[in-house]
């Protein structure tokens, strides 16, 4: 089993562009999160945008991630680029927030401001659970929390170089389903736009590398994550618990019936 990192160590590794591997969670199941946190992943990402989490679910899953034996820190994809959503995720103890639908440098600057306390930003002080493990001083919180901008829209791709140059931004994170639709895909997995999609990934990755920030991507499986890391992405997430639960259950059912897998 891998050695777990503190939030400060995780953020330092992220900012140093070290390779990190995470797992994506849609289910509001703290027991599942507790088990996943012990597998060896560097982070667990809880999806508050499209997942099944309310605030209590997000809080309880972050708590489960921090239990004995965990190798992972908790990351939250927030509901929107909103001061309140971002602040609540951080106050609950998230080590990093992934902010969706970033279209331009101003969007990215707004996300950064929501993560940083004054005078660097606009985060309201009330770190509830976070003060027990991140902070409680603003300078410590700035060192130990990160903000990642999702690149998943046509505007976000067109403006990715400017987005990456946003002061205080720690990294970018590709949402492949939305990005594929944004470049003209008929579905979230449309192979007809594969060449354009791969070109978009290179553009995002190179824009991040040029300014020395982290570059991450969402993946359907571990093999895909390994390929993207080999290409130069610095962190990769494997998704997700809902999909994998169905896949494994189906595989075992077929085996029990004597059907070919």
Report which DSSP code applies to 145: -
**What is the CA 142 to chain-centroid distance, rounded?**
18
What beta strand segments (E) does 68-213 contain? 73-77, 96-99, 146-151, 171-174
Q: Is 77 helix (H, G, I), strand (E, B) or coil?
A: strand
Rounded alpha-carbon distances, angstroms, from residue 224 to 54, 71, 218: 30, 22, 9
Among 146, 69, 76, 143, smallest CA distance to 114 is for 146
| Whole-angstrom distance, CA of residue 211 vs CA of residue 114 | 22
| Whole-angstrom distance, CA of residue 172 vs CA of residue 174 | 7
| Whole-angstrom distance, CA of residue 67 vs CA of residue 246 | 26
Q: Which two tokens stand for residue 54?
A: 């309310």
Q: Is 252 a catalytic residue?
A: no
Residue in this structure with the two tokens 């599942």, named with its chain if needed: 32
| Whole-angstrom distance, CA of residue 24 vs CA of residue 33 | 10
Catalytic residue among 50, 60, 142, 244: 50
For residue 93, count other CB atoms closer than 10 A to its CB.
25
Q: Is 235 helix (H, G, I), strand (E, B) or coil?
A: strand
| Helical residues (DSSP H) of 74-172, grouped into ranges | 83-91, 105-115, 138-144, 154-158, 160-164
Active site residues: 50
């Amino acid at each position: 089993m891998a050695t777990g990192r503190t939030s400060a160590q995780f953020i330092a590794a992220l900012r140093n562009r070290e390779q990190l591997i995470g797992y994506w969670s849609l289910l509001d199941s703290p027991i599942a999160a507790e088990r996943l946190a012990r597998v060896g992943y560097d982070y667990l990402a809880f999806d508050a945008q499209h997942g099944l989490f309310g605030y209590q679910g997000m809080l309880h899953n972050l708590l489960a991630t921090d239990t004995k034996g965990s190798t992972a820190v908790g990351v939250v994809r927030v509901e929107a680029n909103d001061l309140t959503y971002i602040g609540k995720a951080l106050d609950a103890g998230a080590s990093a927030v992934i902010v969706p639908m970033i279209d331009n440098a101003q969007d990215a600057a707004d996300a950064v401001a929501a993560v940083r306390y004054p005078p660097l930003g606009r985060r309201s002080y009330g770190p509830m659970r976070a003060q027990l493990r991140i902070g409680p001083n603003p300078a410590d919180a700035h060192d130990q929390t990160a903000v990642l901008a999702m690149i998943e829209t046509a505007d976000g791709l067109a403006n990715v170089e400017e987005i990456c140059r946003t002061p205080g931004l720690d990294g970018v994170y590709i949402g492949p389903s939305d990005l594929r639709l944004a470049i003209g895909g008929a579905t979230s997995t449309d192979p007809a736009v594969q060449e354009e999609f791969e070109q978009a990934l290179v553009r995002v990755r190179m824009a991040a590398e040029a300014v020395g920030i982290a570059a991450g991507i969402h993946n359907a499986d571990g093999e895909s994550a390994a390929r993207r890391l080999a290409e130069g992405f610095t962190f990769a997430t494997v998704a997700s618990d809902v999909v994998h639960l169905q896949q494994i259950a189906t595989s075992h059912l077929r085996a029990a019936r004597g059907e070919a897998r």
